[in-house]
Amino acid sequence: MGYDLLIGDRSYSSWSLRGWLPFAVFAIPVTVVETILYRPEFTRDMARFAPLVRTVPALKTPEGGLLRDTVAIAWHLAEAFPDHGLLPDDAVDRAMAQSLIAEMHTGFAALRGACPMNLRTAWEGFAPSDAVQADLARIEALWGAALDRSGGPFLFGRYTLADAFFAPVAMRIAGYALPVSDAAQAYVTTHLAHPPLRLWRALGQTRGPEQPTYDMGLPRRPFPIAPPEA
């Protein structure tokens, strides 16, 4: 018996992306179960997956445990696979990465509310509010501290769980053309070129029609990410 991961729409579910990326990046076998947000079957599919599940992602462990939150999934995988490098080896970097993950999990409500992740299209003419700009400034400070220490290209040099948690933020910056520094934009570009994320986005393009809930009513442009390599 292996891992079973319940996710929502790949194009829209930022938390599902955070739950899936560690399996893809660190080659941890998993069976993915998909459901569609805002459909009548969404609640049914969660109940069928496991009792008490109310959000996606959710993870069943090989031992029969149930993890219903991305931080719980992250900490479980880091503990279960200590040799996979899900967190930095250096103690100072590891503490910084854990703090970044926790702050992403609980913070940046203005950015998340104003700029829902949408990997099907990018937008033109989005005007960030003062609250969104404050979130971006904080994100740039956090990214900058890690990148200055590591030299990049990911936050701690190589890919870690911290990058998985900030991947949807990078997609929001790309999709809404949010104003950030050259250093932050370079980190966003690193995500846009990352093969697992490109695969995730391509798979989302094959699943059903667009969700009207995510229409911003703005002029559209192609999402700035290349398809996965054949």
Sequence ranges of the chain with CATH classification 1.20.1050.10: 91-197
Q: What is the pLDDT of residue 208?
A: 76
**What class is the 3-80 domain?**
alpha beta
Tell me the pLDDT tens digit for each residue of 163-196: 999 999 999 999 999 999 999 999 999 999 999 9
- Edge-to-edge strands, sheet with 3-7: 30-34, 3-7, 58-60, 66-67
Distance CA 161, CA 167 (A): 10
Sequence ranges of the chain with CATH classification 3.40.30.10: 3-80
Q: What is the pLDDT of residue 190?
A: 98
Q: What is the pLDDT of residue 75?
A: 98
Distance CA 24, CA 30 (A): 9
Tell me the pLDDT tens digit for each residue of 22-56: 999 999 999 999 999 988 899 999 999 999 999 99
Q: What is the 3-state secondary structure (H, E, C) of the chain?
A: CCEEEEECCCCCCHHHHHHHHHHHHCCCCEEEEECCCCCHHHHHHHHHHCCCCCCCCEEECCCCCEECCHHHHHHHHHHHCCCCCCCCCCHHHHHHHHHHHHHHHHCCHHHHHHCCCCCCCEECCCCCCHHHHHHHHHHHHHHHHHHHHHCCCECEEECCHHHHHHHHHHHHHHHCCCCCCHHHHHHHHHHHCCHHHHHHHHHHCCCCCCCHHHCCCCCEECCCCCCCCC
The residues of the chain scoring below 50 in pLDDT are none
Are the beta carbons of 155 and 165 closer than 8 angstroms? Answer: no
When the pLDDT of each residue in the chain is averaged and rounded to a whole number, the result is: 96
Q: What is the pLDDT of residue 39?
A: 87
Q: What is the pLDDT of residue 230?
A: 55
Q: What is the pLDDT of residue 128?
A: 98
Which CATH code is given to the segment(s) 91-197? 1.20.1050.10
Q: What is the pLDDT of residue 209?
A: 82
